Structure formats: C-alpha cells, structure tokens
Amino acid sequence: MSSWGACAVDQGFIEMAKDYRAVIREHKEPIIQSCCACNAAYWPPRLRCSCGSAELHWQPVGPTGRVVSTVGVNVAADQASERMVPRQFLGRLPYTTVIVEPHAWSNVRMMFFAEGLSFTTSQTGASVCLSAETTGDTVTLVAHARNVVST
Ligand SMILES: [Zn+2]
C-alpha cells in the first residue's frame, strides 16, 4: 500500500495526534502507522517504532477487517457523564465497540465503534466494513455490520 505521508513524530505526541486526525479528515478512512525501516505497523499511533526508528508513515487500513472481540457499553442515563462515555457516544447508548484486525494489516488491532453489531460472542470472527466519521475535531472509527461478509 502507498503511504499517506510522514507522521509528525518529531513534533511530539500532541501535534502527531492533530496530524492523525487531519489525515483521517482528508482521506475519510481509518489509518495506521507503519515503520519505514522495518515495516512494523501500529495503532494507536506512537512516536517511535520498537526498532528505534522515528520514520513512521500513515497508511490506509483498507476497507475491511475481522472482529476479534466485542465490548458492550450500557450506562444508565443519569450516570452517562463525559467522564464515563465519550461525548460523541452519549446519544448512542447502549453501544458496542469492537477490536478489529484489518484484512490488509493482520498484525494490527484497532478499536472501532460498531454500527449494527450487537454485544454477542457470535460477532467474533465476522468481517466488517471499516470507515471513519469526522465531526469538528472528533474522529470516530466505525465498523459497519450491514455489509458483513461470511468468512
Ligand atoms: Zn521499525
């Protein structure tokens, strides 16, 4: 896969996080980092590869992945403060998050908001479509079940 540019690791974590969100906003897809020296891949982003290199590039994760695990979040409305539930998910309770291995990067695991997936173990192993939603400065990685493909 072709790179979507160098990560701003030399500017520190806060600037790199801004860079991460900007690349997602531009391309409207989830991304990971890969190391130019050893090709290791990472999510969430980091400042340096385990091989020592700081030459990390943004890469698209591809359109699909496999669900590795699911977590259901169901908080009583009176307890759903910003401290317990991310702001962008307050109106979506109860919701499910999933850990996904992208098909193109099977050595990386990423967390996604699950659209149309319930909190059941039967979802483990399902193929899902991956996308990114952006609202203002917020980026949400979304795994869609409506196009689930049998594996
Ligand atoms: Zn490396």
Residue 81 has what pLDDT?
Answer: 64
Distance (Å) from CA 31 to ligand 1 centroid: 17
- pTM score: 0.86
Residue 92 has what pLDDT?
Answer: 82
Contact of 65 with 103, CB cutoff 8 Å: yes
Distance (Å) from CA 49 to ligand 1 centroid: 5
From first to last of the 151 residues of the chain, give the pLDDT tens digit. 578 999 999 999 999 999 999 999 999 999 999 999 999 999 999 999 999 999 999 999 999 999 999 988 887 766 666 567 777 787 888 889 999 999 999 899 999 999 887 777 778 889 999 999 988 888 999 999 754 444 4
E strand or H helix at 79, and its extent? none
Distance (Å) from CA 98 to ligand 1 centroid: 27
Residue 77 has what pLDDT?
Answer: 66
E strand residue ranges, 7-135: 31-35, 41-42, 56-60, 64-73, 95-102, 110-115, 127-135
Residue 88 has what pLDDT?
Answer: 78
Residue 137: phi, psi to the nearest 5? -95, 0
Residue 137 has what pLDDT?
Answer: 80
Distance (Å) from CA 51 to ligand 1 centroid: 4
Distance (Å) from CA 41 to ligand 1 centroid: 8
Distance (Å) from CA 56 to ligand 1 centroid: 8
Residue 141 has what pLDDT?
Answer: 95
Residue 99 has what pLDDT?
Answer: 95
